[in-house]
Structure 1
Amino acid sequence: MPDKIDIPDPPANDDIPEEIEEDGMILNGTDTANHVYAAPPPRIAARFWRPSTNRRRSSATSSRRNSMSSTHSHTSARSLHGGCQSNHVAQHLRRASIIESRKARLADRAAHAEQVRLRAALAKAAPRASNSEERALAAQKARERHLAQVAAACAEEVKRAKKVAEDMKERKAAEEKRYRLEMEEKLAEAEKRRLLYNRTWRRPRTSSSPSKKPTEVTRVLTSDAAAKRIQAAWRTKRRRNILDEFSALNLSIDPVAETSFEAMGQFIAEDRVLSATGRVLRLLNLLDDVDATSSQTSIRTFLSAYLVLGHPAEVLSSKDGDQEKDLITKAKELVISFEALLTKAMASQRYSLDLTQLETLSFANTAYNTAFNDWKARDASILIETMVASFVNLDAIWQSVKDYTDGEVANDYREGIRDNQVLLLSRIKKLAGPDRATMLIKKAIRESRRSRPRRRPVGDVRPRPALEGSPASSEETAVESSTSVTPVQDSEATPEGQEAAALAKIFSILPDNRILVHELAIDKEFRIDNSPHSNLRNAVNREICESMRRGFENGEGDAWTVAMADNIRAKLLKLLKPGNSLHTLISETLDTDFVSRQCAQGVFSYEKFFTFMANILPKLCAPVRDEQVKTLAEDMETPGSVSEMIDKLFRLLHVIDLLSLDYSNFLLMNAAPTLIKQSAGYEQRMFAQDLDAGRITLARTKRWWNDAAVNVITESDRRDPLHRPTTQKIYARGLVDLAIATATLQENDLPETLNLDRARIIRIRAESARIATIAAIFLNAKNLLKRDVRSQWKPEASRMWDALKTGFLDPDESLSARLLSIIESGHPMPASTRSQLANTITRLLQQAERGRLTDPLIKVLFQRLKTHAFNRLSASSSGERVRFASTASEGLASSGMAEFVPQVSEIVDTLGKMGEVDQKAHGIWYEQIAKEFEDMGQDVDE
């Protein structure tokens, strides 16, 4: 440490002394020059002169030493070599330099701030996307990128999984094939060993040295134990014999399917098959020996399961029906349970029966018997209904021709009708029984004769204004087709004869003018239906063909050929306009004289005739008949015997009748708008003509109106004596009381104004009775089963509706059992409930058949149905009609008829249309009758 501190000398230029910063003080050089300080103590010197670490470093831009004034001062001092200069000037220059430099810095800072402000303004004014939108777009891109990665990874996993599954499937298939081959090899080896064992001669056992065994104690059986063993052995032997005997029949599904249906039917009918099956069923407790007839029926019913499974197409009329499908399912369950039980019993050493399998078989047998009886009853009822309808159609023909005594055709009709009716009656009696067949036929004939419209009076030639001016020669005759073919030689006695004209009128497809207009007014889409006439016309054509066959056998073939050609020519020419090329061709080819000369010369050929018809019919038929006509043409081209030729002729007549019907409907479709516009006026004029001619009166209409008015007024007085019912309410009440009733419609009950709606009213009465009866049955069943009465049993309702289509006639109680089985199939019930419900169903059906509903429940339901229909028909405003229509479902559900909303709506719509047409046509007479009733009431009050 030095003894003293030397402070450096000041520079030569003393005018601008340097400023020395030392510990926060500025030391002037002039004040510190040549000063020598005494050295402090070492400890203090060491503290004081230690280098400072926190000395402020000067900045190059802000240090005064680097400023312009400082540099200028140094330069001036050096240049003057210590020359004198005023300190005042130097300080002034330095301050000016500092001020200028600060001004320049402030100017630069202001310019920079302005640039920053301008950039901020531009950035603020420039449109830019929201930060959230940017984040959303970025997130969407990231999500898509992630999903693409996931999809790629999943695709790889799926591909890998598919590959693994395919490999596993192939491996399992290979293993299964290997196992199957091994099993087949083992079975073949076992079969070889069994055959070898059976063929190998085995020596009898010989005595051998007995092995040393402990002495066995002989057990002595008691008499009871021995008897039990003997009985057990006898039962085992008996079961074995029964099962072996049935197994020898080889009765299983596969052999039955391979055998023809006829051969299988004969096999099942053999006594040995029935006997063996009966013994097996008795062994399995499936057959009771109470009645021999019922036992045979049960055996045949059981064997029918094999026929149902082996030959369903021959046994069942249709395999697509619900009952048919259910029957096939139940038969399959029965056969599977039966064969499984036999297989297990025969595999057992004692031929014992498994109790669990016995119970399953019993349930399957009961279910199959129920399904079979339901199907059999429905199939038999359909067959009976069809044959009864055919009988009624023949009766209609008989009623039409019974008054004609002249001519051979009427005699042929009578003989053919009687023969066919006798045949049908015998078949119906065989299916339904003598008493029931008689009742069904009488009822059907009675309803048919009542619903048949009254015949038009002679000389009533009502014009068809809608068909005038048609391109056809006579469109009124174009819609009619004659069906009489009579082998006569005199041309004047055929089509122009009174008999042929009457028969043509009877068998005409086209209804009466008034009926046609009336039906079109109610239904704008009405078309002439062939179904009411098809059976009738086919029966007539078949009788004609049979007569023709007998004529050919008797040597009268030429006369029948001429008559046939004339008849077909007349039918075809009615479909064409005179002058048409086809009209000319048919007229010349089928000319009566030309055909007669060919027959006389023996050159007429039926093959050429059928070829000609095969070429002509496709040019006359509608597109909808193309396939049918094509099939007929292909059949006619094949040659055949006389009997086959007559059958072809029958099919030809049937197709020509269809062409006539199509042409009639085409003309009707074109004329429908005009007929509908003029329907009210036309019906009114025809009704007035009948009144003026005295053919009808208004007696029944007045009585019907007065009854309805009294009912409405009585009900109105009970509610509000000051309110008088309107004419619309009176008419609605009369219409509802007439259509919705239980009794059979009598002639005196039907007003003259509604005579054309007789069939429609009869149908509505039957449907109303069906609705009330089924609803009453359902309510009784729901109450007995503790079910909610508002729950809907639509499937059961549909099946019951179809079951009661033929009426409530039930002499054999089969209908009651069928209705009960319909309910029981979906809602099981105990035996007591079943018996009670069966009695209720029988009682309700008997009341509905007699037309006297005395049961309180069905009376209430029928009255609610009438009230519902009356409320909807008597609505005077559109708002009321919409309200009643929208709440119809709820109202019927609360009344207990929730399942019959469509049927009730159809009845109400039909009555509404019928009433609207009736009021337009007969409104003036209703007004007169209403006025007379009011005048009569005023006279009574006075």
Structure 2
Amino acid sequence: MPKESHEPSKEEDKKIDDKGPEDSTGQSGSSEEMLRKRIRKNTPSPHRLTPQSSPPKFVSVEELMETAKGVTNMALAHEIVVNGSFQVKAPEPAEGSLEKRVKEIMHKVFWDSLESQLNDDPPVYDHAIKLVGEIKETLLSFLMPGQVRLRAQIEEALDLSLIHQQAENGALDISKVAQFIINMMGAFCAPCRDEDVRKLRDIPDVVPLFRAIFAVLDKMKIDMANFAVSSLRPHLLQQSVEYERNKFQEFLDKQPNALDFTQKWLQETADAMLREPAEGAAGASGSSPQLLLSLHNRAYLRLLSWDHGMDAFPETVMMDRGRFQELQQDLERLTLVASVLLIVYNSAGEAISGLPGLIERLKGTIVVLLADTHTSSFRADEAFTAIGEKLCLELGECLSQHGFSPFHSNRQSALKGQIAAVRSQDNPIRKLIESRIQAYLLGFLESGPHKSGPALPGGLAPIGKELEEIGVRLSRLVNFNKLVYSPFYQKLLQEILQPGSSADT
């Protein structure tokens, strides 16, 4: 039985060519037709890579737990690598929460019990000795493998069996034990904890002293963890690409449909490229590698306008979803700022162009009034009304100071109306700014990690610095993501653009 071909027949090719639109140079829309041949005309099911007739793959609870642990470890390693300011923080229950109240009650009961034992006649040291044992383990955990002398010193001074014998014979000096612990803490702590350790020496009572010792030790554990993270980061940078890729492959082996949303994301981007005019498609229709790169970069740009309430996020970028969402919100604010400033300068004309410091003052006003844009309490109509009022006032004062004609009320009303219209997603000025920002960021992704960024399009100068910072943040995320998931992307993109072709080309 002959194998069915996925390529259009010669007759179909001819029909397509006959209907192809002509561009401004008189050439037929061959670039669009090339995309039509490469990109599937019908969006396939997101389960296409997994044959629908295949029986479901069952996994044990142990396998699922192991996979979950692997994904958790992968997410932690990823966070350490991409987040230069990542730090371990002590968990703290919310103020006024039931968890916090229970914790406080349990601690009070414990420390009251310890105080009661020590106040007995003769004193009972059972709880105190257990605390010394916990402190001993913590101090030993701070040691490096080669610190043999310190280890022996701690083992000797905090010998629990000896301390227990001293307690039974009434010869235990608990204050002396506490002072040794404080001395060791002073030797191990980071410089930022020197003052905390010094204050321990001023606490005369045993119970408050031990309570304070544990509080400082908890801080020291966090310090040590963050020191380990900073020491580990250079090593992770070298190993994380392979590590994350292998971990994701393990996850994919247990969940074969774990790339469904990634495939849908790339397929929809390809379909959107197909719908572009011939001029837009021409830039993406060169050699296959150029087409793959263009499609992939455009897919990342779509993440900056993602509907998080409706669309499932692609699996391969899930660990950076929060970062993409933060970038998206930053860009939305910058778009509004640039749109309002463009309207203001077009409205006021040459009278305000070049006036020193004016654009920064106007920008600062807009930024402050749009600071809560993505909060539930934000009221767009009120915010844009306030922006219009404030900017008209500042423009009027500025024009008067520099001897220009007053900013008449009819011009003010027109300007306020144009500013208020910016809050609409379909506002032409806003859409123009959005398209220019998209083009700028696409240029950032196409320029590569070791090349200078693209030129700033017109109208974006007031937000140029912020846009460049976002471009750098975006390109770092994208480049790292491409490195990790390149084998998976290669297969998906080849399947979308050239169904049935080898993924190794």
TM norm structure 2: 0.65
The answer to whether the aligner puts 1:617 opposite 2:189 as a matched pair is no
The answer to whether the aligner puts 1:759 opposite 2:350 as a matched pair is no
Distance 1:668 1:835, change over 3 A: farther
> What is the 5 A alignment of 1:608-757?
608=176, 610-621=178-189, 625-626=190-191, 628-639=192-203, 645=209, 648-649=212-213, 651-665=215-229, 667-669=231-233, 672-673=234-235, 675-694=236-255, 697-715=258-276, 717-719=278-280, 723-724=285-286, 726-738=291-303, 740-741=304-305, 744-746=307-309, 748-757=311-320
**Does the CA-based 8 Å contact 1:542-1:650 persist in structure 2?**
no
The residue aligned with 2:51 is none
Unaligned runs of 5+ in 2: 1-62, 118-125, 398-406
1:546-587 deviation per Cα after TM superposition (whole angstroms, max 9, x unaligned): 632343346676676556544443333222146623233334
Separation (CA, whole Å) in 2 of partners of 1:537 and 1:520: 24
The answer to whether the aligner puts 1:549 opposite 2:108 as a matched pair is yes
> What is the 5 A alignment of 1:486-497?
none
Distance 1:802 1:655, change over 3 A: farther
The answer to whether the aligner puts 1:794 opposite 2:360 as a matched pair is yes
**Does the CA-based 8 Å contact 2:114-2:207 persist in structure 1?**
no
> What is the 5 A alignment of 1:45-444?
none
**Does the CA-based 8 Å contact 1:680-1:920 persist in structure 2?**
yes
Pairwise CA distance, 1:780: 3.8
Separation (CA, whole Å) in 2 of partners of 1:603 and 1:840: 85
**Does the CA-based 8 Å contact 1:700-1:751 persist in structure 2?**
yes
The residue aligned with 1:865 is 437
The answer to whether the aligner puts 1:573 opposite 2:140 as a matched pair is yes
**Does the CA-based 8 Å contact 2:443-2:454 persist in structure 1?**
no
**Does the CA-based 8 Å contact 1:611-1:636 persist in structure 2?**
no
Pairwise CA distance, 1:766: 1.1
Pairwise CA distance, 1:697: 1.5
The residue aligned with 2:479 is 916
1:50-105 deviation per Cα after TM superposition (whole angstroms, max 9, x unaligned): xxxxxxxxxxxxxxxxxxxxxxxxxxxxxxxxxxxxxxxxxxxxxxxxxxxxxxxx
The residue aligned with 1:768 is 331
The answer to whether the aligner puts 1:514 opposite 2:74 as a matched pair is yes
Residue identity in the other structure for 2:138: K
Separation (CA, whole Å) in 1 of partners of 2:136 and 2:365: 48
**Does the CA-based 8 Å contact 2:335-2:430 persist in structure 1?**
yes
Pairwise CA distance, 1:810: 6.7
Separation (CA, whole Å) in 2 of partners of 1:756 and 1:703: 18
Pairwise CA distance, 1:746: 4.6
Residue identity in the other structure for 2:470: I
Distance 1:780 1:535, change over 3 A: farther
- Give the secondary-structure state (helix, strand or coil) at the position aligned to 2:92: helix
1:294-341 deviation per Cα after TM superposition (whole angstroms, max 9, x unaligned): xxxxxxxxxxxxxxxxxxxxxxxxxxxxxxxxxxxxxxxxxxxxxxxx
User: Once the two structures are aligned, what percentage of the paired residues are identical?
Assistant: 17
> What is the 5 A alignment of 1:465-480?
none
Separation (CA, whole Å) in 2 of partners of 1:542 and 1:566: 27
The residue aligned with 1:856 is 428
Pairwise CA distance, 1:753: 1.3
- CA radius of gyration, larger in: 1
Separation (CA, whole Å) in 1 of partners of 2:86 and 2:433: 36
Separation (CA, whole Å) in 1 of partners of 2:86 and 2:251: 25
- Give the secondary-structure state (helix, strand or coil) at the position aligned to 1:536: coil
Residue identity in the other structure for 1:797: K
1:445-495 deviation per Cα after TM superposition (whole angstroms, max 9, x unaligned): xxxxxxxxxxx96346989xxxxxxxxxxxxxxxxxxxxxxxxxxxxxxxx
**Does the CA-based 8 Å contact 1:571-1:656 persist in structure 2?**
no
**Does the CA-based 8 Å contact 1:782-1:788 persist in structure 2?**
yes
- Give the secondary-structure state (helix, strand or coil) at the position aligned to 1:794: helix
The residue aligned with 1:458 is 65
**Does the CA-based 8 Å contact 2:336-2:430 persist in structure 1?**
yes
Residue identity in the other structure for 1:698: L
Pairwise CA distance, 1:713: 3.4
**Does the CA-based 8 Å contact 2:263-2:492 persist in structure 1?**
yes
Pairwise CA distance, 1:929: 1.3
Separation (CA, whole Å) in 2 of partners of 1:853 and 1:933: 31
- Give the secondary-structure state (helix, strand or coil) at the position aligned to 1:854: coil
The residue aligned with 1:223 is none
Distance 1:563 1:727, change over 3 A: farther
**Does the CA-based 8 Å contact 1:796-1:823 persist in structure 2?**
yes
Bigger RCO (CA 8 Å, 6+ sep): 2
**Does the CA-based 8 Å contact 2:80-2:229 persist in structure 1?**
no
Pairwise CA distance, 1:719: 4.4
1:33-61 deviation per Cα after TM superposition (whole angstroms, max 9, x unaligned): xxxxxxxxxxxxxxxxxxxxxxxxxxxxx
Separation (CA, whole Å) in 2 of partners of 1:864 and 1:576: 56
1:521-543 deviation per Cα after TM superposition (whole angstroms, max 9, x unaligned): 657xx36424xx25638989997
Pairwise CA distance, 1:877: 11
Separation (CA, whole Å) in 1 of partners of 2:427 and 2:127: 62
Distance 1:666 1:779, change over 3 A: closer
Separation (CA, whole Å) in 1 of partners of 2:414 and 2:194: 59
Pairwise CA distance, 1:767: 0.8
The residue aligned with 1:899 is 462
Distance 1:735 1:553, change over 3 A: same
Separation (CA, whole Å) in 1 of partners of 2:127 and 2:426: 61
Output the aligned Cα RMSD. 4.5
The residue aligned with 2:17 is none
Q: How many residues align?
A: 408
- Give the secondary-structure state (helix, strand or coil) at the position aligned to 2:375: coil
Pairwise CA distance, 1:699: 0.8
Separation (CA, whole Å) in 2 of partners of 1:565 and 1:873: 57
Unaligned runs of 5+ in 1: 1-455, 464-510
**Does the CA-based 8 Å contact 2:261-2:315 persist in structure 1?**
yes
